[in-house]
Amino acid sequence: MGNQGCVYLVGAGPGDIGLVTAKGYRYLQQAEVVLYDRLVNPLLLEYASPQAEYIYCGKMPKKHILRQEAINDLLVQRGLEGKKVVRLKGGDPSVFGRVGEEAEALEQAGVPYEIVPGITAGIGAAAYAGVPVTHREHSLSFAVITGHDKSPSGEPLIDWHALANGVDTIAFYMGVGNLPHISERLISHGRASDTPVLLIQWGTTGKQRTLQGSLATIVEKAKTAQFKNPAIILAGDVSGIKKGASWFESKPLFSQHVLFGRASEESSTIGQHLRDQGAEVFEFPRMQLQKKLLKATDIPTDKDLLFLSPASVDVFFASLQANKIDIRHIQGEFYGVSSKTIKALASYHCVGKEVTERDSHASSLVILGDSEGIDREKQRYAIGFGDDFIATHTYNRVPQTLETFSRLQEEERIETIIFPNARSVQTVTEGFQACGESPESISAYAHVICFGEKSKQAAVKAGYSIATVLSEPSEEALFEALVQKEFPLAAALS
């Protein structure tokens, strides 16, 4: 019996990648095909399978990349091929997401499907702006309305009298273009002209922007502020609750967009900590580890072993298992170049020592690590000793990460680039070049921060203009620099 395909119609939430449901996240990781919309945060795609097929269905006003009929056909086709397909939609797929049409096409074709709800923008964006859509003192009812529809004018054809007089809080989706019409209709059908209105653009993301007014004033204010979609119009007394910056907007790194240089497949704990403080972090480029299991004859049993990364530790022990070699046959000492590597050794119940503890006059040792991009002679020279180098793995760049970079760049969501080490300069620069960018072109609009002297030298050599070098290579120093936004162009450094 062949594999049966299934299509998962998944809500990605309003923007913050942490707002996707656990079920949606699990299906995304398992997906063989991912079809995604323009309003899906491209950072979410970094968590899908590296082997997945990605199809952009990016709809823009009056400019559709893929027509709905073509999307329906693709879902059916891939489902009939036996694939696990995720149709990733911004917000909730059942709220103006045309999920009904897609589900109907799948049902008619006999393709199994599931609908995985998501947080809709009217609720999520309002919450991140500090406004609950219902409140015992201000709002006992809530409605979501499309801000434009299929009518000839694009102005929503609804029962304005019932809406103006029967609902406390009204959320209009993508309605900024029709804001004059919406305000006029609500007032003319009985809603007080001083009813508070809140506009929320790019809600729940680092680009979130809000504008407050009333039905009588919001049109002129939006015009002056050049407010555009994607945005939610929240009309009702509850909108007046917002006083100053919300809990989200008050985070110390709110509105900061950071590209954190990656040198391996592992995500950075620093990156997550920056997210917790409000920054939007893109760890670039995404890498996939390719193991190089050792043959029995290549496994050194009588020399000290120096591991350059946790991955090299994992591959070494996997090689022992694959060749059925008992750990008791390994006579040498274990050393690691970092605390992470030593912890990896400890996870296999082996004691790892700092490489600085080793006597430089001791017998030669074998170095195990990543073969790609390492200047072996310099690596050995920096360590001070070592004869043999064994490549345990290599890293391959995941193609989708380049599309993520391009999307974020188009949306002007790359402002600061952080190089935590010299190796990250190489991997990031190769990624930029694959996107048609150069260190010089990137430096024209992004601040470049280096953790220390070695990463600074590597970045300068590559062609970057350095904004700052941290006072010390630590998370605390990075956080302080980002909070203060002190990026003096360091011509003297370069």
CATH of the domain at 406: 3.40.50.10090
CATH for 107: 3.40.1010.10
Residue 417 CA to residue 431 CA, distance in Å, equals: 13
Are residues 168 and 301 both part of a single domain?
Answer: no
| Residue 1 included in any domain | no
| Residue 246 included in any domain | no
| Residue 133 included in any domain | yes
Q: Which of 37, 92, 314, 370 is catalytic?
A: 37
- Residue 59 annotated to the active site: yes
| Residue 491 included in any domain | no
Q: Which of 119, 137, 156 is the last residue of a domain?
A: 119
Residue 469 CA to residue 491 CA, distance in Å, equals: 12
Are residues 85 and 191 both part of a single domain?
Answer: no
Across-strand partners of 10?
88, 116
Are residues 95 and 40 both part of a single domain?
Answer: yes
Are residues 213 and 142 both part of a single domain?
Answer: yes
Work out the number of other CB atoms within 10 angstroms of the CB of residue 327. Answer: 11
Are residues 199 and 150 both part of a single domain?
Answer: yes
Residues 6+ apart with CB under 8 A from 211: 198, 199, 201, 218, 221, 222, 225, 227
Residue 62's pLDDT is 52
Closest Cα partner for 302 from 336, 323, 333, 342? Answer: 333
For 429, list phi and psi in degrees, rounded to 5: -65, -40
In Å, how far from its chain's centre is CA 283?
8
Q: Which of 102, 119, 136 is the last residue of a domain?
A: 119
| Residue 249 included in any domain | no
Are residues 297 and 393 both part of a single domain?
Answer: yes
Are residues 136 and 218 both part of a single domain?
Answer: yes
Give, for all 494 residues of the chain, the pLDDT tens digit: 457 899 999 999 999 999 999 999 999 999 999 999 999 999 999 999 999 999 999 755 555 578 899 999 999 999 999 999 999 999 999 999 999 999 999 999 999 999 999 999 999 999 999 999 999 999 999 999 998 766 677 777 899 999 999 999 999 999 999 999 999 999 999 999 999 999 999 999 999 999 999 999 999 999 999 999 999 999 999 999 999 999 999 999 999 999 999 988 888 899 999 999 999 999 999 999 999 999 999 999 999 999 988 999 999 999 999 999 999 999 999 999 888 899 999 999 999 999 877 776 666 788 899 876 455 444 554 555 556 889 999 989 999 999 999 999 999 999 999 999 998 999 999 999 999 999 999 999 999 999 999 999 999 999 999 999 999 999 999 999 999 875 544 332 32
3-class DSSP state of 231: strand
* Strands, E assignment, 208-341: 209-214, 231-235, 257-261, 280-284, 287-291, 304-307, 334-336
| Residue 51 included in any domain | yes
Q: Which of 59, 207, 251, 292 is catalytic?
A: 59
Residue 426's pLDDT is 93
Residue 432 CA to residue 455 CA, distance in Å, equals: 17
For 135, list phi and psi in degrees, rounded to 5: -160, 135
| Cβ proximity of 54 and 78 under 8 Å | no
Q: What is the DSSP letter of 331?
A: -
Are residues 20 and 113 both part of a single domain?
Answer: yes
| Residue 247 included in any domain | no
Q: Which of 397, 422, 448 is the last residue of a domain?
A: 397
Q: What is the DSSP letter of 244?
A: S
Are residues 79 and 95 both part of a single domain?
Answer: yes
| Residue 171 included in any domain | yes
Residue 150's pLDDT is 65
CA atoms within 13 A on the CB side of 407: 19
Are residues 282 and 214 both part of a single domain?
Answer: no
Are residues 373 and 440 both part of a single domain?
Answer: no
Are residues 392 and 353 both part of a single domain?
Answer: yes
CATH for 220: 3.30.950.10
Total tally of structural domains belonging to the chain: 4
Domain that holds residue 304: 289-397
Q: Which of 84, 92, 174, 370 is catalytic?
A: 174
